[in-house]
Structure 1
Amino acid sequence: MALETSVEKPAPVRAIANAISGWIDRLGAVWVEGQVAQVNRRPGMATVFLTLRDSVADISVTVTCSRVYYDSLPAPIQDGASVVVHAKPSYYANRGTLSLQAREIRAVGLGELMARIEHRRQLLAAEGLFAAERKRPLPFLPGRIGLVTAPNSAAERDVLDNTTRRWPGVAFEVVHAAMQGPRSAEEVIEGLRRLDRDPSVEVIVIARGGGSFEDLLSFSDEGLLRAVSAARTPVVSAIGHEPDTPLLDLVADLRASTPTDAAKHIVPDVVHESAGVTQARQRLRRAVQVRVDREQQRLDALRSRPALADPRSLVDDRLAELDDHRVRMRRTLGHRLDRAADDVAHHRARARALSPLETLRRGYAVLQDGEGHVRTSVADVGAGETMTVRVADGRLHVTTDHAELLEESDD
């Protein structure tokens, strides 16, 4: 019921606020359509605040929902998304604010498409299709490049012209396919598989110019994403402009922001590479020259040594040493031979002194009979007996006349 108030009996603010709160609480839940202008998730709070704006009039209202429900949505609600909210109006009397307590939030139109794509992204990410370890490196200089694009499109001209400008000798295998529409994903998959079967193609580029979100939906098709993931050839995604991010960018081995940017990634710049080769050649020459100069200095240092400056000096020194050794050897050998000769002479003298011949040379003689028996006594020799006398230098044949025996004192 309406409050009865007058100038004499005005109602306090709390009464008016509580009355408004009561009137609003009696309202049932309603379905509200609008555009999300802002999402506010405050840390530590169990409530998420959204600002829902009318798509035509400049009117907005605050929507609250539990954090648990918001986190359970298939895809996070992004700013600008169109949604339909099942909510109950609520009035917060302490602050005098009106809000809608959301019980269910559904994305509609473009927002619904974005939610589906986000849900698909989460599923494929869980399978590992976007994992960094699955990305294959591009060849440094591919001999042949495959290109899937629309016929006579600006994307085709951008890729071909910029790539040829960077590396004039590059070769292309171009496959035309619809880049939007219901048959786009199917034709792109067919072109991709055709190029992937060609062993001469080393990298494949899927290129398309910019467009609306709906125009790029085919490049988030699950069949196309799985075909790119299964391809043996590295794939470059060059779809749309920098803000455009279809799911193909996530599964491709390399994402190029534009078709022109793709040319910068698939081939090197011939001018830059030529300059690099020139610089490398110069560095190599300097390194070789430094090495040669260093070795020449070492060689000069070795050649300046006496042994190499005049090798004959070493030979002359050794020859002089050899002559000295030869003289010392001869002198030593002579001394040893002289001492040996003296020893031999001494031994010879001692041997001769003991020889019977030396005794004979001193005047003695040996008397022998005809049979060679030595006679040492006159008693053994008879008169008229033939005898042989051995002296130092020969023998005498004598005949005895008589023998005379000497006395002991006559010795």
Structure 2
Amino acid sequence: MSSDDADQPAQERTLPPRAGLTTPENPWPLRLLSENLHAYIARCDPTWVEGQVVELNQRARVTYLTLRDVDEEVSVPVTLFAREMAQMETPLERGMRVVAQIKPDFWTKTGRLSMIGQGVRPVGLGDLLVRIERLRRALADEGLFDAERKKPLPPLPQRVGLITGRNSDAEKDVVRNARLRWPAVEFEIRNVAVQGTSAVRGVTGALEELDADPRVDVIIIARGGGAFEDLLPFSDESLIRAVAAAQTPVVSAIGHENDQPLLDHVADLRASTPTDAGKRVVPDLVEERANVARARVVLDRAVIQFLDREQAALDSIRSRPVLDQPEGMILVREEDVDRLRERSLRTVLHRSEREQETIRQMKHRVRALSPQETLSRGYAVVMTQDGGVVKDSAQVKVQDTLAIRLALGEVTAAVTQTSQRQPGDAAT
């Protein structure tokens, strides 16, 4: 910008309508930027927020406080006027959890952004319980608390992951009681904040780190008892989902019997106290030795009973006749063979005699039907000189010579007369 332009009043120049159109030669006056910022921020709607009072500075007409996010390291200064403080039933204190409606305001003269608060009211125990109960129902409907998805603890973990506060009684209780029961157990300890705004982030990060370590067999999240507000990080939704997604079994050991944050519902095992967690993740060496001794007694008894039973079975088998007198079986079979042999012989003889009788009868029938037997009964066979058998008287003539075969010998005869007379006809 030239010296002439610098000397020219701003109102005589044509100012850019938007900040993006300003240039070194044609800038905005600082007051215009401040006024535009004030006008822009003034259009922002009031917003209800929740936070924790970490700083409180009360003056006659104005109270300055700093609200910090309940989960993250994010803080915002808030200004309260006297009338807002006068309307509060419960005085503000450091550490109090409150909800407030804040509206941003930009001071044009100083360029300072401030938050004007109103309607500040503390978050009571009842409100927190309602929120936790609502979250519990929502997570339960998703199945994150179902017994079917809970993983069993290893019977003998070699390395236990422990997430707890630094130098806390909870850490000492878990380690001491676990090593009293099983001295060989090893620990992978992660010390993190277990209350306050960084608790959720610290516990979740330690959980993910231990879950990714293949040497860790089970993870314990432990904290001693405390006020209800101190245990709120263990009902945080992000932590609950991280525990549900873990592949390593997780044990919750938060507070005492009457303290039950949502972590207890999603964990694979809930221990009432850190001391109880140390006892439940590892077996008792003395008890295991006693179990081994009892198992050996039971095993010895079972082996002896088995041997006695098998010996009795062998004695029973040996006492049977087939083993006590093995030749008896041969004698029985020998008798069977003799009996079968005699029966076969009788059968063969009987069959042979029957067949011989049949042959004799057939011989008698054959003999009875033979020509020789016929001749023996007085019959004869008349034959011509050429050997032909004479069956008809017409075959011969008178004076023919015939040979007559008898039962014994032959006779030669001459034909003196022929006739056609049939048996039974009267002689002529």
How high is the TM-score relative to the length of structure 1? 0.59
Q: Assess if the C-alpha contact under 8 Å between 2:154 and 2:218 holds in 1.
A: no
Give the counterpart of 2:171 among 156, 164, 179: 156
1:161 aligns to what SS in structure 2?
Answer: helix
CA distance in 1, matches of 2:169, 2:188: 17
The corresponding residue for 2:33 is: none
Alpha-carbon deviation of 1:174?
A: 2.0
CA distance in 2, matches of 1:353, 1:386: 30
Q: Does 1:196 align with 2:207?
A: no
1:30-69 paired onto structure 2 within 5 Å: none
Alpha-carbon deviation of 1:372?
A: 0.8
The corresponding residue for 1:84 is: none
**C-alpha spacing 1:228/1:358, structure 2 compared with 1 (3 Å):** closer
Gaps of 5+ in 2: 1-87, 97-121, 419-428
Alpha-carbon deviation of 1:128?
A: 3.6
The corresponding residue for 2:135 is: 124
**C-alpha spacing 1:107/1:279, structure 2 compared with 1 (3 Å):** farther
**C-alpha spacing 1:327/1:223, structure 2 compared with 1 (3 Å):** closer
The corresponding residue for 2:348 is: 333
Q: Does 1:136 align with 2:150?
A: yes
Amino acid at match of 2:293: T
2:360 aligns to what SS in structure 1?
Answer: helix
1:233 aligns to what SS in structure 2?
Answer: coil
Q: Does 1:174 align with 2:189?
A: yes
**C-alpha spacing 1:288/1:393, structure 2 compared with 1 (3 Å):** farther
Map Cα deviations across residues 356-401 of structure 1 (whole Å, 9 max, x no partner).
2124456765443331134588x95877x776554557778x697x
Q: Assess if the C-alpha contact under 8 Å between 1:138 and 1:266 holds in 2.
A: no
Alpha-carbon deviation of 1:230?
A: 4.4
The corresponding residue for 2:271 is: 256
The corresponding residue for 2:111 is: none
Runs of 4+ in 1 over 6 A off after TM superposition: 104-111, 393-396, 402-405
1:175 aligns to what SS in structure 2?
Answer: strand
1:373 aligns to what SS in structure 2?
Answer: coil
1:186-265 paired onto structure 2 within 5 Å: 186-210=201-225, 216=231, 218-221=233-236, 223-242=238-257, 244-246=259-261, 248-265=263-280
2:293 aligns to what SS in structure 1?
Answer: helix
Q: Assess if the C-alpha contact under 8 Å between 1:181 and 1:215 holds in 2.
A: yes
The corresponding residue for 1:301 is: 316
Amino acid at match of 1:317: V
Q: Does 1:274 align with 2:285?
A: no
Map Cα deviations across residues 64-87 of structure 1 (whole Å, 9 max, x no partner).
xxxxxxxxxxxxxxxxxxxxxxxx
Alpha-carbon deviation of 1:210?
A: 4.8
Root mean square deviation, CA, Å: 4.2
Map Cα deviations across residues 48-100 of structure 1 (whole Å, 9 max, x no partner).
xxxxxxxxxxxxxxxxxxxxxxxxxxxxxxxxxxxxxxxxxxxxxxxxxxxxx
1:345 aligns to what SS in structure 2?
Answer: helix
Q: How many residues align?
A: 302
Gaps of 5+ in 1: 1-103, 406-411
Q: Assess if the C-alpha contact under 8 Å between 1:219 and 1:248 holds in 2.
A: yes
Alpha-carbon deviation of 1:205?
A: 0.9
Amino acid at match of 2:206: G
**C-alpha spacing 1:394/1:280, structure 2 compared with 1 (3 Å):** farther
Q: Assess if the C-alpha contact under 8 Å between 2:211 and 2:247 holds in 1.
A: yes
The corresponding residue for 1:324 is: 339
Q: Assess if the C-alpha contact under 8 Å between 1:135 and 1:252 holds in 2.
A: no
CA distance in 2, matches of 1:135, 1:252: 10
**C-alpha spacing 1:239/1:364, structure 2 compared with 1 (3 Å):** closer
CA distance in 2, matches of 1:134, 1:124: 20
Alpha-carbon deviation of 1:323?
A: 1.7
Q: Assess if the C-alpha contact under 8 Å between 1:107 and 1:115 holds in 2.
A: no
**C-alpha spacing 1:349/1:236, structure 2 compared with 1 (3 Å):** closer
Alpha-carbon deviation of 1:403?
A: 6.6
Amino acid at match of 2:191: H
Identity of aligned residues (%): 46
